[in-house]
Amino acid sequence: MQQTSWIPLFPEQASSFAWQVDALYFYLVAISVFFTVGIVAAVFFFVVKYREKEKFATGAEIHGSVPLELFWSFVPFVISMTIFLGGAIIYYNQYRPPEDTMEIYVVGKQWMWKSQHGTGQREINELHVPVGRKIKLTMTTEDVLHSFYIPAFRTKADVVPGRYTTLWFEATKPGKYHLYCAEYCGLNHSGMGGWIYVMEQRDFDNWLAGNVSGQTPVEAGQDLFMNKLGCASCHAGGPSQRGAKLEGIYGKEVKFTNGQTAKVDDEYLRESILNPSAQIVEGYQPIMPTFKGQVTEEQLVSLIAYIKSLSGVTATTSSSSSNSTMTNTATPANTANNSNAASNAANTNRGK
Amino acid sequence: MQNVDAINAGNFEEPKTNYLNNGYTLKSWLLTKDHKRIAIMYLLTISFFFLMGGVYAALIRLELLTPQSDLLESGTYNRVFTQHGIIMVFFFLIPSIPAMLGNFLLPIMIGAKDLAFPRINLLSLYIYWIGAALALFAMMQGGVDTGWTFYTPYSTTFSNGYVMATGLGIFINGFSSILTGLNFIVTIHTMRAPGMTWFRMPLFVWAHYATSLVMILGTPVVAITILLLALERVARIGIFDPAIGGDPILFQHLFWFYSHPAVYIMILPGMGVISELISNFSRKKIFGYEFIAFSSIAIAVFGFLVWGHHMFVSGQSIYAGLVFSFLTMVVAVPSAIKVFNWSATLYKGQISYDTPMLYALFFIGLFLIGGLTGLFLGSIGLTVHLTDTYFIVAHFHYVMVGGQVLAYLGGIHYWWSKMTGKLYSEFWGKISAMLIFVGFNLTFFPQFILGYMGMPRRYASYPAELQVLNIFSTAGASILGIGLILPVIYLTYSVFFGEKASANPYMHPGLEWRTSSPPPTENFEETPIVTWEAYEFGEESGLDLEEARKELAKV
């Protein structure tokens, strides 16, 4: 653990917006000190100066003052608006991921954080990221609420079962930083944490190279798509295609039978797999069965990564995601081996 | 006018029977319709729960003395902090001032014989007892480990504690709040004595009016939420659990739609007490009466619009987050107005340093810090870092303990002579007030720093580098504990051995001081006629101050 902050008892600044949060914090500390000292001094002064001169004497006849009331309503209002605006700007930037991010998937589970890089490396309770890259976490949970919290980055976001939440950051300083679960999640809540390792790009590349990488999410998703779940029987090209054409769909607008439209993003794809009959895209029949309960969160993440790759979206460092092998080559036996390899990789990381 | 003069001069005959000696049997207490006796029964029950919540707090602080979870293993620790929260919020803080001081004083302060519905008032007490008994039963069986917030899907699917029994206890207890709120509102509207206009009412009554509004509008929502929780847990109907088609965020919306306004149930009555103390012990009209009165109403109304600020990182839309942040900043203004007005009231007063006044002054200091740190947490960009850390724990303890508990203790000391007819030891009163102030700050101030360093709340174990501040906090808690036990001793002592109190030991103008101590069952021998404004200390109040000074000199 590094404690190299120049202020004692102060957390390290290690992300691109840490200094903004700290600046707002010190602005508020200054305001608080000003008002606390001012009011406490006034109260102290009055209490001493106007101590009762005689038992049961009567204080001065003062009822109040409307101008004064307006003054001390208006001034706090203006100050609180500056605080609101400062906070709003920081929050807006923190919660809207930029375009050119490196994407990592995170799944929370009682009581561990599982993550998977675009290049296939899986980690548990650890996350290695390169310094100076914008990193976007797409997160969900297999059970209850959790919250992914990195104090040194001044950011956190809850993970919610049944949907994706995102968190992005750009680490600015190599080092090892605490990762906590900040939303109470039961028995071993305080044990659900670990470390974020921020590395120089070179070290990060070495780390990637030195790690068993198993299947990439795109490969795993392709496997599910082609073999395990049988999506290909309706969604792959060819004369038998009854389901929506998925190539190039990501990021486009789709129009539903009821006239509404939606943009195809991660959340939309997730909903379409789990609850396909909720909204039907124009020109298709509501024939797709639900996959709720048949795919795990980690499989869903892979499936979505694969569908995105069909639109040329590979938001990772990965160089190996292969769109070319569209043919149905993998056998069920292979599939089993592959998923073993993946969980072995996870176990290896856990053992570290 | 005759009547008024007689009362004011203090030369009315002390009645032979007062509310305390009017029957000694258990039945005369359990079947009483007297709001004062009901208030005393609340006092005893609430004190029991405060003690119990305090024991849990002590266990929490002892466990956090070391970074490892060694005294309590984490499963036990989770239950302990959950019980601490449930007891303190639902069975101590919410009923504390309204059901106890409010019940005792509100009718007397407006010159009424009792509340509008005395039987319903007794019913409220019984409902509170039944709810509390259920929650206690659940606790005996092993308790719950969901946190007092009962977030789904943990509480519905994953927790194996006695969630339903505890939930039912809180559900039932809610009706006690609703009925008390209803009773107060009707009483204030219909039972004021002749001459007691709305703007002559003590601010304590205004604060209780605002509190009652929140109670009757907010509490049904938590009842509905608990009912939905039960439907899901028992009948597996998908409401909050995504596995069966529900939405966990919906629970948070419903829960905080009540529980945020409930925060104001826990502070508005305290603000009412402080307005009384500051004005009376400065012997001066309160500065900006109307502004304080309406700021209570404004807090009650705006309090319903800010629940989303508990959910900034929960996954709600970022635009919703921005709106809730804005509204939270707006609700800070009426609280600021109150603090400025209290401080300005001291200007050119005749200030005495009795124990209740010490509590009021300490309240201003602690509430200032509690309120200002609320701005940190309302500022959405900052709260992403701060929420669910010890910063938030420190913040709400500054408001709830530094605010409401100090006001509650200040109120109990102030009206002790009225309630019991006895005087407590001023010396010990001041000592304990100071111990509480010092102990409280030492306990909770380090937690702001811990929170900014990133220590998450509800952690049984924590990184070793955070230990020093936790040791400070635990040390402070032991001082705070002593400060809180002392009043139990010297106040109880005063009931049996204390000096007898006169009707108006402080020569304060409120109606409660214009009847005997303790008051007769019907509060006043004759219905008072109010001819003075609120907080009138001079000639117009009709108080015979010369006489009182002479009396004092004799002693």
Beta bridge partners of A127: A196
Domain that holds residue A281: 217-351
Q: How far is CA B322 from CA A32, B170, B263, B328, in A?
A: 22, 32, 21, 10
The predicted pLDDT at position B12 comes to: 58
The domain that holds B528 is classified in CATH as 1.20.210.10
Write down the H helix ranges in B454-533: 467-497
Within-domain flag for A92: no
Q: How far is CA A218 from the centre of its chain?
A: 20
Q: Compute CA distances B81 → B93, B381, B457, B477, whole Å.
A: 16, 28, 10, 15
Does the distance separating the beta carbons of B153 and A145 come in below 8 Å? yes
* Inter-chain CB proximity A80 and B333 less than 8 Å: yes
* pLDDT in the model for residue A70: 94
Give the DSSP letter string of B252-311.
HHHHHHHHHHHHHHTTHHHHHHHHHHHHHHHTSPPTTHHHHHHHHHHHHHHGGG-GGGG-
Strands (DSSP E) along B13-61, which ranges?
Answer: none
N residues, chain B? 555
Structure confidence at residue B7 (pLDDT)? 53
Chain B partners of A152 at a C-beta cutoff of 8 Å?
454
What residue in A sits closest to B505 (Cα-Cα)?
Answer: A56
**Confidence class of residue A327 from pLDDT cuts 50, 70 and 90?**
very low
Residue A334 lies in a domain: yes
More confident residue, B290 or A225: B290
Confirm or reject contact between B458 and chain A (CB < 8 A). yes
Q: The dihedral of CA B492, B495, B497, B501: what is its sign?
A: positive
The predicted model gives A83-98 an average pLDDT of 91
Q: Where are the alpha helices (DSSP H) in chain A?
A: 18-49, 66-95, 201-209, 217-223, 232-235, 266-274, 297-309, 332-351
What is the C-alpha to C-alpha distance for residues B132 and B128, in angstroms, rounded to an integer?
Answer: 6
Answer with the residue of higher pLDDT: A277 or B375. Answer: B375
| Minimal Cβ distance to B348: which of A32, A59, A94 | A59
B21 contact partners, CB below 8 Å, separation of at least 6:
none
User: DSSP 3-state assignment of A101?
Assistant: coil
Shortest distance, CA B40 to any CA of chain A (angstroms): 30
* Length in residues, chain A: 352
CATH number for the domain harbouring residue A233: 1.10.760.10
Asked whether the beta carbons of residue B384 and residue A91 sit closer than 8 angstroms, the reply is yes
Name the pTM for this structure. Answer: 0.87
The interface residues of chain B toward chain A in range 133-152, judged by CB-CB distance below 8 A, are 145, 147, 149, 151
**Considering the domain boundaries, does residue A107 fall inside one?**
no
Residue A75 domain-assigned?
Answer: no
Best mutation target among B318, B350, B364 (most A Cβ atoms within 10 Å) is B350
Chain-chain contact of B349 with A46 (C-beta, under 8 angstroms): yes
Chain B positions in Cβ-Cβ contact with residue A81 (cut-off 8 Å): 329
Query: From CA A144, how far away is CA B360, in angstroms rounded?
Result: 43
Q: Which residues pair with A105 in a beta bridge?
A: A116, A138
Long-range CB contacts for residues A284-289, cutoff 8 Å, separation at least 24: A284/A242, A284/A243, A284/A244, A285/A242, A287/A234, A287/A242, A287/A243, A288/A234, A288/A243
Q: At what angle do helices B74-86 and B35-63 cross, to 10 degrees?
A: 160
Asked if B398 and B370 count as a contact pair (C-beta separation under 8 A), the reply is: yes
Name the domain count of chain A: 1
What number of other Cβ atoms are within 10 A of residue A99's Cβ?
7
| Residue B423 pLDDT | 94
- At B230 the pLDDT is 86
pLDDT tens digit at each of 555 positions of chain B:
334 455 555 555 677 788 988 888 999 999 999 999 999 999 999 999 999 999 999 999 999 999 998 899 888 999 999 999 999 999 999 999 999 999 999 999 999 999 999 999 999 999 999 999 999 999 988 889 999 999 988 888 887 778 889 999 999 999 999 999 999 999 999 999 999 999 999 999 999 999 999 999 999 998 999 889 888 888 888 899 888 888 999 999 999 999 999 999 999 999 999 999 999 999 999 999 999 999 999 999 999 999 999 999 988 888 999 999 999 999 999 999 999 999 999 999 999 999 999 999 999 999 999 999 999 999 999 999 999 999 999 999 999 999 999 999 999 999 999 999 999 999 999 999 999 999 999 999 999 999 999 999 999 999 999 999 999 999 999 999 999 999 999 999 999 999 999 889 899 999 999 999 899 999 998 899 998 889 988 888 888 888 888 877 776
Greater confidence (B173 vs A9) lies with B173
DSSP conformational letter for B50: H
Please list every residue in chain B whose beta carbon sits closer than 8 Å to the beta carbon of residue A50.
282, 346-351
C-alpha distances in Å from residue B149, one per residue of A94, A183, B146, B222, B274 = 27, 11, 7, 11, 29
Looking at residue A219, its pLDDT comes to 84
> What does the alpha-carbon distance between residue B287 and residue B333 come to, in Å, rounded to a whole number?
17
Identify the pLDDT of residue B10: 53
Helices vs strands, H then E, count in chain B: 20, 2
Whether residue A89 lies inside any domain: the answer is no
Burial class of residue A1 in the structure, from the number of CB atoms within 10 Å of its CB (0-12 exposed, 13-18 middle, 19+ buried)? exposed
Which residue would you say has higher pLDDT here, B356 or A210?
Answer: B356
Tell me the residue range of the domain where B443 lies.
2-554
Task: Calculate mean pLDDT across residues A24-35.
Answer: 96
Partners of residue B545 in chain A, C-beta under 8 Å: 56, 58
Distance CA A94, CA B315 (A): 13
B266: closest CA of chain A, how far (Å): 23
SS3 B54: helix
Q: Which of A144-158, A233-247, A269-283 is predicted least confidently?
A: A233-247
What is the pLDDT, as a whole number, of residue A350?
36
First to last CA, chain B: 31
B439, amino acid identity: G
Q: Is residue A344 part of a domain?
A: yes
φ/ψ (deg, to 5) at B421: 75, 10
Q: How confident is the model at residue A351 (pLDDT cuts 50, 70, 90)?
A: very low
Beta carbon pairs, A and B, within 8 Å: 298
pLDDT for A240: 64
Say if CB B289 and CB B534 are below 8 A apart. Answer: yes
In a domain, A307, yes or no: yes
ipTM for the predicted complex comes to 0.91
User: In the prediction, which pLDDT does A335 show?
Assistant: 37
User: Cα(B80)–Cα(A190) distance, rounded to whole angstroms?
Assistant: 15
> For residue A218, is pLDDT > 60?
yes
Residue A346: pLDDT band with limits 50, 70, 90:
very low
- Across A8-12, A40-44, A45-49, least confident range: A8-12
Interface test with B, best of A17, A69, A77, A266 (most B CBs within 10 A): A69
How many Å apart are CA B445 and CA B460, to the nearest integer? 20
Looking at residues A229-234, what average pLDDT do you find?
Answer: 79
Per-residue HEC secondary structure of B272-283 comes to HHHHHHHHHHHC
Q: Is B526 left (phi over 0), alpha (psi -120 to 50) or beta?
A: beta
Q: Is residue A223 part of a domain?
A: yes
Is the CB of residue B440 less than 8 Å from the CB of residue B478? no
Per-residue pLDDT, A181: 95
Q: Which of B287, B314, B332 sits opposite A76 (nearest CB)?
A: B332
Q: What is the mean pLDDT of chain A?
A: 82
What residues of chain B lie within 8 A of the CB of A183, using their CB? 151, 388
What whole-number distance in Å separates Cα of residue B391 and Cα of residue A25? 12
- The reply to whether B394 touches chain A by the CB within 8 Å rule is no
Question: Least CB-CB distance to B459: which of A36, A155, A190?
Answer: A190
Q: Which long-range contacts (CB under 8 A, 24 or more apart) does A72-75 make?
A: A72/B336, A72/B337, A72/B340, A73/B333, A73/B336, A73/B337
- How many domains would you assign to chain B? 1
